[in-house]
Amino acid sequence: MYADTIAAVATPPGEGGVGIVRLSGPAALPIATQLFRPQRPGPLRSHQVRFGHIINPATGAVVDEALTVWMAAPRSFTREDVVELSVHGGSLPVQATLSLCLAAGARLARPGEFTLRAFLNGRLDLSQAEATLDIIRAQTDTALALAQAQLGGWLAREVRTVRQALLAALAYVTVVVDFPEDEVEPQDLGPHLQASLATVETLLRSADQGLIYRQGARVALVGVPNVGKSSLLNALLRADRAIVTPIPGTTRDTLEESANLDGVPVVLIDTAGMHASPDPVERLGIERARAALAGADLALLVLDATRPLSADDHALAALTATKPTLVVWNKSDVGRMSESAFPAHLRRLATVHTSALTGAGLDELAQALVRALLGGVPPAAGEAHLVSNPRHRDALRRAHEHLAAAVAGWTGGDPTDLLGGDLTAALNALGEITGETVGDDLLDLIFARFCVGK
């Protein structure tokens, strides 16, 4: 437990119905008692809301009406004494209340410091603490569901189960190595290690989908001029965002817009039509289009269904060869080219026929896009148990590497002392997810991303 008491505004800046100043630490209640004068006399009671006024104790002046809740330790977010002072949601009453808390001895909280205390006081593990930030930042229902499940602790439980199995294996290995003369009942660690490896593998595999749901993906619409890239962008957004004209070379600059496609947050990028152009302005746009393609997670290669592929189409198709790509035959309301003329690598790709004009095929396009982003697997309906944090994925990858080495070593009859190193490394990597094995540097880095007051 900390000796100091922190305070911060817990609500966003700007005007709102209420603004909340939050205190946490041993002096939370004494400070609140100095500032808050309840309407009906009598001391505050834990977990009861009281109406009254915030007053400046130095002058006796009333600052604002307030509702006050004291949550006595350990039944609070931080497991410390917490007081929340709700005043009217304007910057003056909120800031004045905060200033009075600071004058009475509280220290201004750093970003994420309430959650850090919740973690350090054992109220949350690190993966749950990070989930609170994900809940605040979630852009889609699915991202929110993933974060809620993580806050519920499923990932922490999975990780702990594996760590317990590995600790038992490490204990056995250590005894065998340190006391070779003792009669140790021989154990077959193989099945235990295999089971742990399988769990880590499942978690790791779920991250491919989980990260897309949480972080979204960048999708570039590329094609030669006039195939309907900007029209498709507008149609997918259901908004007249990009300029569309019958003149080839209309789009000069790249244009980005966020969209939510079946719960997957995507950034759609419209680009200039790519072809060999003598126009210097157009050439700059085409450079940007190439850069957008290079930085995208997925390319939508837009082709004109009313005419055979041109040399420029082929050149562009070659450019997308190394990138996950979806082929979109647009203007399918007018015509439909025979696909036998495709270059071989395009024939292997998922293909959608659309008309940005009539809307035909747009739902199929959105679905194909989501499938392509999620690695061919359909969206996991209601499946909230996905690893969705790159830090967790990184730790899982390292745990996986060491566990795989341990399994191979055990199967290959390696000397037991070699196993100890891999088991320890796997245990440490997994401990980083729940926070059992992280240093202060990493904690600072993680919590610095939080907002003040959380």
Ligand X SMILES: Nc1nc2c(ncn2[C@@H]2O[C@H](COP(=O)(O)OP(=O)(O)OP(=O)(O)O)[C@@H](O)[C@H]2O)c(=O)[nH]1
State yes or no: residue 386 binds ligand X (CB under 6 A): no
Residue 277 binds ligand X, judged by CB under 6 A = no
Compose the 215-234 pattern: x for residues touching Mg ion by CB under 5 A, - for all others: --------------xx----
Is residue 254 part of the contact set for ligand X (CB under 6 A)? no
Q: Does the footprint of Mg ion cover residue 251 (CB under 5 A)?
A: yes
C-beta of 320 vs 355, nearer to ligand X: 355
Answer with the entry of ligand X, Mg ion, none that 357 interacts with (C-beta below 5 to 8 A by kind): ligand X
The site that binds Mg ion (CB under 5 A) totals a number of residues, namely 4
Binding part of the chain for ligand X, among 47-55, 60-68, 227-235, 390-398 by CB under 6 A, reads: 227-235
Of 22, 50, 117, 331, the one binding ligand X by CB under 6 A: 331
Burial-class residue 428 by CB neighbours within 10 Å (0-12, 13-18, 19+): middle
250 binds ligand X per the rule CB under 6 A: yes
Using CB distances below 5 to 8 A depending on partner kind, what does residue 231 bind out of Mg ion, ligand X, none?
A: ligand X
- The listed partner (Mg ion, ligand X, none) that binds 228, CB under 5 to 8 Å by sort, is ligand X
Q: Which of 195, 281, 318, 334 binds ligand X (CB under 6 A)?
A: 334
Among 19, 93, 112, 273, binds ligand X (CB under 6 A): 273
Nearest residue (CB) to ligand X, 143 versus 227: 227
Q: How far is the CB of 251 from Mg ion (least distance, A)?
A: 3
Show contacts with ligand X in window 341-380 (CB under 6 A).
Answer: 355-357
Interface pick for ligand X out of 26, 90, 105, 249 (rule CB under 6 A): 249
Please identify which residue in 227, 264, 299, 369 interacts with ligand X, judged by CB under 6 A.
227
Using rule CB under 6 A, residue 223 touches ligand X: yes
